[in-house]
Chain A
Amino acid sequence: KQEVTQIPAALSVPEGENLVLNCSFTDSAIYNLQWFRQDPGKGLTSLLLIQSSQREQTSGRLNASLDKSSGRSTLYIAASQPGDSATYLCAVPLLTGGGNKLTFGTGTQLKVEL
């Protein structure tokens, strides 16, 4: 059974700092890994999806890396801003019944302070 863990559970940083969020998974036989952002009381916004054949994906100030063999992914946020404050979730899929069952991590709650 796939288990996904995120460290740290919460993080508070001053504006402008670069930061790294960590995600680990127990079963390395994954097709991809997806990072989401969730604002309080809102739905999930997809940030990046890394296919299993890829090492990195970049979108603006975000960079996600994937090391399947070690069961790890990181989300790097450059020059953090207060608007980046949210909970960040990573998720890996399990192919089932034609769809993908996402197993989510426990999330990292990020607060970027002025």
Chain B
Amino acid sequence: DAMVIQNPRYQVTQFGKPVTLSCSQTLNHNVMYWYQQKSSQAPKLLFHYYDKDFNNEADTPDNFQSRRPNTSFCFLDIRSPGLGDAAMYLCATSNKKGLAGETQYFGPGTRLLVL
């Protein structure tokens, strides 16, 4: 019954070594989001895709990239992870219909540790 799936749940990488986090959804939603949540802080939006259109937040570092090869999958690439990038990364989806905001469904998250 999993709707938003994130793999892996825990990821350990080395300082500067590229890493990719994966998100997939079975809801057929047209919008997918990536949030970063640091310890004891609220989630912060990094970027989102509306269908194939990529929307980057102004303060998202260039070190973070994303790909959405199809409706179901979305990837977060961190090109050169720094110690400050250690966080929980949350993927979410929603189905955009008109102007009204829709419920966002979150995955379980991937906890990234940078050594």
Contacts and interface: CB of A to CB of B under 8 A. Distances in A.
Interface residues of A, number: 26
Given A41-B111, A43-B109, A44-B106, A93 B101 contact: yes
Given A44-B43, A51-B100, A98 B108 contact: no
B75 to A, nearest CB: 17
A99 B90 contact: no
B21 to A, nearest CB: 13
Nearest to B94: A100
Contacts of A41: 88, 109, 111
A96 B104 CA distance: 14
A42 B109 contact: yes
A34 interface: yes
Interface in A9-59: 31-32, 34, 36, 41-46, 49, 51
Given A93-B101, A100-B96, 13 more contacts: A34-B103, A42-B109, A43-B90, A44-B90, A49-B101, A97-B48, A98-B48, A98-B53, A98-B96, A99-B33, A99-B94, A104-B42, A106-B42
Interface of A: 31-32, 34, 36, 41-46, 49, 51, 89, 93, 95-102, 104-107
Closest 3 CB pairs of A and B: A98-B50, A97-B55, A104-B42
